[in-house]
Chains A and B, each alone.
Chain A
Amino acid sequence: MSAPNTVTDIRETELIQRVCSGDHEAFYELMKPYEKAVYFAARSVVNNPADAEEVAQEAVLKAFNNLSRFRLESKFSTWLVQITINEARMRLRKERRHRYESIDEQAKDDEGDYIPKDFADWRDIPSEELQRKELRDALERAMAALGSKYREVLICRDVQHLSIAETAQILGITEASVKTRLLRARLQMRDALAPGFDGSWTTGRTEFKKVRPW
């Protein structure tokens, strides 16, 4: 994402001060680079577009109402994503009993090694192939199939490009857990998307080669 990612920069600091002194319009400008980030953060937890939107709306409202509590030594983006994730988790907690995995599943530790299921070789897929809609759909399905604790880490790291330390802070887990969950999430995504494992998006492409190491 193109959002500023080093420190809360001078422009942001000014905007925050303006909002805190009553200039509401400045809040919209402050939020602008992070609109997608808020949505994706919400989506990473609740994994349903409609619910994610509602969570995102609620998070925006909370960020506005609590902006005076934001401390400038941290990054605004991190703070914002954290509010969104918390909001999404609260919602998930309310609904989990009916629609999502159990709390036990969520609380379970990341023990045991994840063994990749398929060794299909991707190196020959041209990058423009990766832009195709079928693949995007496959990606969304694969993402939806991840447990939420893996999806959260994956979205923070690989979609939002947050550091391991920031991800750990936002999700309230250790850096070691971030790494373990990220590994599992990435390998599981690879398994789900490896050509030949789910070949639905590979049909009719002559330039695509299915390569097996044996």
Chain B
Amino acid sequence: MVHPTMVIEISCLEVWQEISSYIDNGVDPELRARMEAHFKVCRHCSAILDGTRNVVKLIADGAEFEVPQGLRSRLYAKLDAQLKQG
């Protein structure tokens, strides 16, 4: 745990550069603490964080992307043709 009084301030630009890694839990604890402290006081960045998280969640749900109807049967068309030829 990083003590709150020890957190060094971070700029919005620096936050944006790391926001994607932050969402992926890919930043070290020290940077995470600095970013968390920033999100508490900066509504711009916290809005961007929430929005970006929403986007990732949205994309993560495979159902959001439609697979064309009948894809399964067509997917093997070339393989089937080759196998038929022997």
Q: Chain A residues in contact with chain B, CB under 8 A?
A: 1, 24, 27-28, 31, 35-36, 38-40, 43, 49, 53, 56-58, 60-61, 64-65, 113-116, 119-123, 125, 130, 135-136, 139-140, 154, 158-159, 161, 164, 179, 182-183, 186-187, 189-190, 193-194, 211, 213-214
CB pair B59 A190 closer than 8 Å: no
The number of residues on chain B lying at the interface, defined by a beta carbon within 8 Å of a beta carbon of chain A, is 40
Which of B58, B64, B71 has the largest number of chain A CB atoms within 10 A? B58
| Chain A binding surface SS class | helix
B10 contacts the other chain (CB 8 A): no
Subset of 6 A-B contacts with CB under 8 Å: A39-B75, A53-B74, A53-B75, A57-B79, A122-B51, A179-B26
Which residues of B, 6-63, contact A by the 8 Å Cβ criterion? 13, 16-17, 19-21, 23-24, 26, 43-44, 47-48, 50-52, 54-62
Query: Are A130 and B52 CB-contacts (below 8 A) given A40-B65, A53-B74?
Result: no
Once the chains are docked, how many angstroms separate the CA of A27 from the CA of B71?
17
- Name the residue on A nearest B77 (C-beta): A57
B67 contacts the other chain (CB 8 A): yes
Once the chains are docked, how many angstroms separate the CA of A211 from the CA of B43?
11
Q: Chain B residues in contact with chain A, CB under 8 A?
A: 13, 16-17, 19-21, 23-24, 26, 43-44, 47-48, 50-52, 54-62, 64-68, 71-72, 74-79, 82-83
Give the Cβ gap from B40 to chain A, nearest Cβ, in Å: 14
CB pair A189 B59 closer than 8 Å: yes
- CB neighbours (8 Å) of A159 from chain B are 59-60, 62, 65
CB pair B76 A39 closer than 8 Å: no
CB pair A213 B47 closer than 8 Å: yes
Query: Are A113 and B16 CB-contacts (below 8 A) given A39-B67, A64-B79?
Result: yes
Once the chains are docked, how many angstroms separate the CA of A39 from the CA of B23?
26
- CB neighbours (8 Å) of A39 from chain B are 67-68, 71, 75
Once the chains are docked, how many angstroms separate the CA of A6 from the CA of B62?
20
CB pair B58 A53 closer than 8 Å: no
* Cβ contact of B75, chosen from A60, A113, A182, cutoff 8 A: A60
- CB neighbours (8 Å) of A130 from chain B are 54, 57-58, 61
